[in-house]
Structure 1
């Protein structure tokens, strides 16, 4: 049985982990003041407990939160449980980070600004969507090497004895350990954390030429669930004078996808080049296409591709498709000035996104700095959208390359924000004040539906085959398909398979049709004979299948010793269950004494169906006894227990079992 799960509300959750980040202070720039703000859709007051990583409640915990009255936790200036000193970096911490829990669901917003009001940013906790065992580091090249432009990684464990491996970065990258900014030089970093413990890496851009961009796409693996923060406490793909806080909480690879819609920030048209998008691949051979066009790049796992802002359409949005799930980060501006960049992890579009975001707290206020408040909305075409109960002033903007979705950018907002749609949506905030800008998404990250596969043992092949499929999550309707063709009457959450086939299900959720669920049966082929066999003048191989499931084609291979094999001729395409096959053969070597038949499924897996060693010149006698691996056995040694094949001169094959 295979099972996975997902939450449809993502950032709205009853447990949140906030790993610490690396703080920097440069002449009043970077992270100075910070707040954690708790909000909820609940009209009944809920209680939220907040502890540091060691389980000690912070001052004021538990906090009372109700819709319309968010609760603000103001942190110590510059360095605190969520923002580390140099001497705390690259070293395991036991009392850093926050764990926030409640019996009810709530939203966690982290807001930070510099003491000189030049830098700001905001990120939202992703709830349990932030927890996983595989991540890839996300951020942007720092472009210019400076002693205060960095890349950071914050990790927090949820269970004791969690083994974590950080790898895949440029081997010339160096990292801070305590007061030494280049002390860690290992090509792979191994750490072990207990529940609540945290670890922060800092990669300063001036310590190595590789540090400018070499950490992008680094892989973070763990054997138990962890939470990850990434970004820059000062950074950006800009010039030397332009920099800002770029903070974000990542999600695991379970929550990423292949389709993204990005809405531009508040840059003027001439400055859109700064509003870049970076795509970070998690699988090899990942194609990237923009606005419904042809493939513009192909990258492998850990590699990245930067899309500049000139690819935004006239409607101020961009549609990005990839052939495999990717991380999609946006560097956007809160205003036209180039030093208002912020970091946004873009959620993939999905029919399983929520219809309500309630509530975004104090949208125009960042630690006392009053900013222009605005939101992005991405929802289905034709949906009715309300902001605080009223239609938005902005009109829906169509998306080039995907007519099913539209975007909004609503500005001039203040206070607490509630957004509703009659269809699934993702909502993010964007704010600015002079050179300070920030952004963060409040919804969108959902996991693949929970699927249960039931198998059955096939005695003919002595292997296990797919018997039925069940979707454990609740949808509005179901339609099962076999090979892309709807199965009449198959409209229940569970589906009995027909043996062979590539199965999928179209589910309706929130008025949106989702066709992303596909299951390929892995049941192997069953042959009429254990071995293919020769007939006539030894120039032809024949076989017949009883059942063929998930089979792409066959191959015939030859060998002179039974160990080294090479394919003979081209692939023989599968014809389906109950098919007869005949293949003329002509050996490429006078020394060939063995042949074997292979079936290859659609996943590329091969199965061997027997080895034969023909002899066409002696009749009416046994010409060989062979093991399952094709090794010839002397007749006087044919007594050990096991399974053997007896080959007669007339090409008959007999399978025998000796005990």
Structure 2
């Protein structure tokens, strides 16, 4: 239901005048057809309607210099064109035949539909016998998808491609997007350009469609006789090994076959011979002799290949060497149709009439009819049992060819020096049992099964759904709903007249799924695109590994950020006057933290792990203490620091004079040795009993600085010292004394402030 027709080029502008599309269909119901160029722009009066008995002749253009969609001028060669070529789409299958004419030339080119697109092709054309002023080879390429890399190689490096300027590259490389085209042509003005392009390899990274041939060409002996030979080819995967050619009514030099090899060691056998006529390597070609045609009242030839290859036929509509045509010949297929319904205006190209005829290939002893009239005269195929051919002349109008067996049909015609030929069947008719089906189906979803193969060859479909319940929606579309979980086998067998095909598929229906999951996170957690900041049980719908929706329960534990958040600190040194059972580090940590203490005794390299309470570590003597705070999973916060502990003489001296004059000496009233005792309280009064200074932990302070608040004179202090050790040496106004602990002692005295 879709056709692509790339443009071509004539070396001489006088060899192309009016050209047309001929559309027909076997459908008795109206079929809508849309036509657009490569850029997507609508063409002509699109959309059109076609139905059986009412084919369409659609005028395209006259000549190639006025923007024809199917022909390009010389200055448009070798360049990417985005508004050329035609794309024809229809709601039901149709035939699409492009026909071209001038006063001296004619040709019919049949589109191969979806079978035309592919990625690997071999070029074929007439091996031109001698140079002449209007002869050339030509090929046009159209991409059917985006960003397709195309490369053309494996041709005679002396080939020169026409254009402005010309191109003589050893290979061609270019990129095409969907609908874009390129046309290349080589004029027959050098020996390399006569046949040096035949066998060239055309490869692409994505699907393209290729038209090939000569505009004009000849394999005859005369230098002044030629005609158009052009056709659309199919990619390598659709090639075959068995081909039948039916001789036209041309001069014996024009009635030949051409084999172009793609695979190594391709042997060519004619008419069932056990000895190959030739063995070809990739890109090599062989022109079959006219003498290989056998039979009467017309002749045919059977070409058997050891490997799939391209087969072309050159045939003419009259005995003149001026009427050769070119057909790409599809292989004999077990799935060929029983009818070609219909070929429109078999004798016409526009308003010009030709003497028209057909050739047909069908099963031996089959009944062949044209428009319901039975025809005889079948000629058996030498070396290929079970097949025979027909050549029927002087036909006019729209015709339908039918057979009781598989049939392939071509047309040819001539008028004075103009001739044409076209092959109308055998390109997309293989039996194919392919069907679309899912690999798995989620709970609650439907499974759709739809035929996607090919039965145009008359195949009968036989579905087997096994234990699977289904509903038939018609047109080989089935739906299975509410299916129990499990795996089910589905098969399809398609039977044609000469061959059959089967395909199998297993579909798994998944059960309903729900699951549980657990997670721990620091502060917050993102699940299925949602953020959670608290601990709890949550439900959400997730996609499982099978691609199905699943209801999942999440058991989430959120760890809050610990407080305080510790950071690493620089090593500190603590001059310490320890007391029994004293704590080294008394800052209480957040319960989320785990503390780890390590001790290196003074003068030792051996570490000692210490008990690690939340609050602090006990004193173990002078040395290096290391603390590590860490939360572990899931937050993994941590901090570390070291404290070097030194021991000093644990004695206290209370001064009685100081001089806050800013000289850096005795500027503050401070009690040496008191820094190691916590909660020592100091009060200072003036002579009138007014409180001048008060500190409940005087040992940790910097002392009293009276420079801004007090004048010279005598002041009085009261110092309360909590003693936790067994004894403590204290020097006051009464001199040194040893005070036993534990107790709190109070010292009172005077001090003198001098400037």
Q: TM-score, normalised by structure 1?
A: 0.65
Which of 11, 19, 37 pairs up with 1:52? Answer: 37
Does 1:433 pair with 2:415?
yes
Q: Point out where structure 1 has 5 or more consecutive residues left out of the alignment.
A: 1-13, 453-470, 479-506, 518-659
**1:308 paired residue number:** 289
1:80-95 alignment runs, 5 A limit: 80-95=68-83
User: Is 1:157–1:196's contact at 8 Å kept on the other side of the alignment?
Assistant: yes
Deviation at residue 428 of structure 1 after TM alignment:
0.5
Mapped partners of 1:237, 1:197: distance in 2: 32
How many residue pairs match? The answer is: 448
Match in the other structure for 1:7: none
5 Å matches for 1:95-494?
Answer: 95-114=83-102, 116=103, 118-177=104-163, 179-180=164-165, 183-206=166-189, 208-238=190-220, 239-267=222-250, 271-293=251-273, 294-315=275-296, 316-392=299-375, 394-446=376-428
Greater than 3 Å deviation, 4+ residue runs: 446-452, 471-478, 507-510
Q: Aligned partners of 2:191, 2:237: CA distance in 1, in Å?
A: 33
Whole-Å Cα distance in 2 between the matches of residues 128 and 87 of structure 1? 30
Give a deviation string over 1:247-280, Cα, whole Å, max 9, x none: 111111122110100000013xxx3232111100
- Alignment partners' CA distance in 2, 1:75 and 1:231: 20
Asked whether the 8 Å contact 1:35–1:75 carries over to 2, the reply is yes
Q: Report the Cα offset of residue 171 of structure 1.
A: 1.1
Give yes or no for the alignment of 1:16 onto 2:3: yes
- Give 5+ residue unaligned stretches, structure 2: 435-451, 463-492, 503-755
The corresponding residue for 1:643 is none
8 A Cα contact 2:429 2:454, kept in partner? no
Residues 292-332 of structure 1: per-residue CA shift (max 9 Å, x gap): 11211000111000012121002310001010011111111
Cα distance in structure 1, aligned partners of 2:454 and 2:100? 37
Structure 1 residues 472 and 16, CA, compared in 2 at 3 Å: closer, same or farther? Answer: closer
CA drift of 1:111 comes to: 0.8
- Whether the 8 Å contact between 1:92 and 1:198 is mirrored in structure 2 is yes
Considering Cα pairs closer than 8 Å and 6+ residues apart, tell me whether 1 or 2 has the greater RCO: 1
Deviation, structure 1 residue 146: 2.4
Report SS of the residue matched to 1:176.
Answer: coil
Give the alignment of 1:611-622 within 5 angstroms: none
In structure 2, how many angstroms separate the alpha carbons of the residues matched to 1:97 and 1:476?
37
3-state SS of paired residue (1:129):
helix
TM (norm. structure 2) is 0.57
**Residue of structure 2 in register with 1:66 after alignment:** 51
Report how far residue 84 of structure 1 moved.
Answer: 0.4
Q: Would the alpha carbon gap of residues 161 and 339 (structure 1) be closer, same or farther in structure 2, given more than 3 Å must change?
A: same
Say which SS state the counterpart of residue 96 (structure 2) adopts: strand
Indicate which of 34, 39, 47 corresponds to 2:19.
34
In structure 2, distance between residues paired with 1:451 and 1:43 = 26
Q: CA deviation at 1:434?
A: 1.7
Deviation at 1:476, TM superposition (A): 5.4
Q: Cα offset for 1:514? A: 6.7
Q: Is the 8 A contact 2:357 2:392 kept in 1?
A: yes
Contact 1:129 1:255 survives alignment (8 Å): yes
In 2: Cα distance, 1:374 partner to 1:303 partner: 33
